[in-house]
Structure 1
Amino acid sequence: MTTESAPLPTAGPIAALTGRADPRLLAAAGCLCIALTSVLIKVSGASGATSAFWRCALALPLLAVLAFSEARRTRVRAKILLPLLAGLGLGLDFVLWGEAIPRVGAGVATMLLSVQVVIVPLLAFVFLKERPDPRFKFVAPTLIGGIVLAGGVFGSSTTGSNPVLGLVFALAAGAGYSGYLLLLRLSSSPATQVRSLSLATVSAGFVSVVLGLPFGRLDLAPSLPSLGWFAALAIVGQVVGWLLIAGALPRLAASTGATMMLLQPVGAVAFGFLLLSERPGALQLVGCVIVLAAVCFAGRGAAKKPAVQSSARLSPTASSSPRAMSLNSSRR
């Protein structure tokens, strides 16, 4: 494993806060923060729209402070329209992922979001004419098979109330997240990361309102305990976890970064087991292993190309391609 010790000169407050720390420790801590978000959503007992809205609303003041600092440090003008459009996909992801968690389990729902490893290269091929890596034709069917098993389609599941519906929600969330990754990849740079994420968070909160209000799934007056869980979700997942990962990955070798990102789904399953007493069935565990193996195999292929890697579930930086970005990102 190799790392580059010097922080990016245009990384704004991220480099200022994380530049001297070991990037491997930063990445590990950030991944575990993101892995914990599914647990926080489940214990809040809120709907997907409610958890998504409050996650965005409570994170925005902190992101605004960081965005202001970034603008002063880098003096690089940020794009506006593309991050806002990217946030529509992020909001869809937040809402549907929140609905998947109680139905399929916090850990398994996070594992299922690895479907974006298939979707992002396909989107890049259709819209950007970027040919997938040769490994893709082996990764895609393997990953899909693992996702079907992990989702509890076959056999019994004790991790959620409706695993099949949870699988559908999680896959749809992965599609929304894939669109977010691709659009933000096109609009963001190391000098505008925080501002791009802030704009995406605004439109993600808007999506939660649009999807939640008509169906009575948005609670604008949650209890104090639930509000406390939402505050933890916003700080841990939307700000701290993203800050740590965004500060670490540009300084890590591609192979190291790809491997570190696997801590997210693994950590989510572990947290679900330890904190929520979730016990995936045997076939679900086999599916989780297959998903991890497929993502790891794909990441080894992406590691051959030098690139500034993207963050995992929250904001890509200037990676060399949407494919490389996808292979090193696992959700929120």
Structure 2
Amino acid sequence: MASSTPTARAHMPKLAFPALILANLILPLGPVLVRLADVGPVAAAFWRLTLALPFLIFLALPGLRRTAPNLREWGALVWSGLFFAADLAAWHIGILYTNVTNATIFGNMSGLMLPIWGLVVLRQRLKRMQAVALTLAATGAAVMMGGSYELSPRYLHGDLLSLLAGALYTGYLLIVQDVRGRLDSWSVLAISSAVSAPPLLLCALWLGERIMPGDWTPLVVLALTSQLIGQGLLTYAIGWFTPLVLGLSLLLQPAVSAVLGWMLFGEWLSITDMVGTMAVAAALVLVRLPSRA
């Protein structure tokens, strides 16, 4: 994975950065919809992928005909699917044992893990403005964690599962970023989703979860928003940005989740949530300045 930095490209698409931000505004809907679904949490993850898969395959076919994965890329895509399946299983179970904000904070620890990977493993040197942005984002994340996180023994199980999901998601993103250097984004997402779905179904059956829903609405919305649109936008954008920018963008999700938790479940939205959100948003503006110069 040490080669997972995007190759420098002369002309970044104008929509790449808006797609990255929009993805991180849509993906926090996932925990809410998992709570509303009347199936088990891992079963919800299975349906998230399975219901989106026909659309993903349809969108992927032109790219697969143009550029078929080579043997190394097939191996990477299989690993990405397994990482994503493990991430979704851990996170969806964790969502039920903690509150929405905690689950999203720990589930998106990749927002800090990715910049650390770039600095330590890839040995990327930060420009001054990037260093300021990273410091500001880390401060904002710490403020959100300190203000939103509820230290409670009843949340410990869910918090640990969400933290595990964050680590697995970091691995998934690094693998996807690597293969996105040559492959079309829909091809990557379709193949990794197809690999992820069967392990999730087996896990749900092993846990004795309810598989068939009585109400399909939350699952259909979950598939369309989280997998097709949210993950689709993220997979498209991921090929254009360094781990630093990707990580900072992921820190938007706890902020959006805090607002959703407050609006839908009455989970308190404090002044620290607002301050942390503004700090992360400012960091995203700053980190884009050097690349525009």
TM-score (norm 1): 0.66
How much does 1:256 deviate?
10
Match of 1:117 in 2: 111
Match of 2:230 among 241, 249, 256: 241
How much does 1:174 deviate?
0.4
User: Structure 1 or 2: larger helix share?
Assistant: 2
C-alpha contact (below 8 Å) 2:101/2:149 kept by paired residues:
no
Match of 1:328 in 2: none
Structure 1 residues 128-177: Cα deviation after superposition (integer angstroms, max 9, x where no partner): 443575946897698568546533116xxxxxx93222211111110110
Pairing 1:1-332 to 2, within 5 Å after superposition: 8=13, 30-72=23-65, 75-78=66-69, 79-124=73-118, 128-131=121-124, 133=126, 135=131, 143=141, 147=145, 150-153=148-151, 162-189=154-181, 191-217=183-209, 219-223=210-214, 225=215, 227-244=216-233, 263-274=252-263, 276-280=264-268, 286=272, 288=273, 292=277, 295=280, 299=284, 302-303=287-288, 306=291
Structure 1 residues 242-295: Cα deviation after superposition (integer angstroms, max 9, x where no partner): 34556678899x999988766533332222222x2232375xx74x45764675
C-alpha contact (below 8 Å) 2:176/2:235 kept by paired residues:
no
Structure 1 residues 276-325: Cα deviation after superposition (integer angstroms, max 9, x where no partner): 2232375xx74x45764675576467435539xxxxxxxxxxxxxxxxxx
Structure 1 unaligned segments of length 5 or more: list them. 1-5, 9-18, 155-160, 308-332
Equivalent residue letter for 1:184: V
Identity between Structure 1 and Structure 2 (%): 21
How much does 1:48 deviate?
2.6
Query: Which has the larger displacement, 101-110 or 23-32?
Result: 23-32
Structure with the larger RCO, 1 or 2 (CA within 8 Å, 6+ apart):
2
Question: What SS is found at the alignment partner of 2:113?
Answer: helix
Structure 1 residues 58-86: Cα deviation after superposition (integer angstroms, max 9, x where no partner): 111110000013335xx223332112201
- Separation of aligned partners in 1, 2:47 and 2:102: 23
Question: What SS is found at the alignment partner of 1:213?
Answer: helix
Equivalent residue letter for 1:44: A
Q: CA RMSD in A?
A: 4.0
Structure 2 unaligned segments of length 5 or more: list them. 1-10
Equivalent residue letter for 2:89: V
- Separation of aligned partners in 2, 1:125 and 1:26: 25
- Separation of aligned partners in 2, 1:114 and 1:133: 22
Go from structure 1 to structure 2 and tell me whether the alpha carbon gap of 1:249 and 1:206 turns closer, same or farther (over 3 Å shift). closer
- Separation of aligned partners in 2, 1:179 and 1:138: 24
How much does 1:188 deviate?
1.4
C-alpha contact (below 8 Å) 1:66/1:194 kept by paired residues:
yes
Question: What SS is found at the alignment partner of 1:103?
Answer: coil
TM-score (norm 2): 0.73
Go from structure 1 to structure 2 and tell me whether the alpha carbon gap of 1:92 and 1:149 turns closer, same or farther (over 3 Å shift). farther
Equivalent residue letter for 2:149: G
Go from structure 1 to structure 2 and tell me whether the alpha carbon gap of 1:298 and 1:180 turns closer, same or farther (over 3 Å shift). farther
C-alpha contact (below 8 Å) 2:20/2:249 kept by paired residues:
yes
- Separation of aligned partners in 1, 2:277 and 2:77: 29
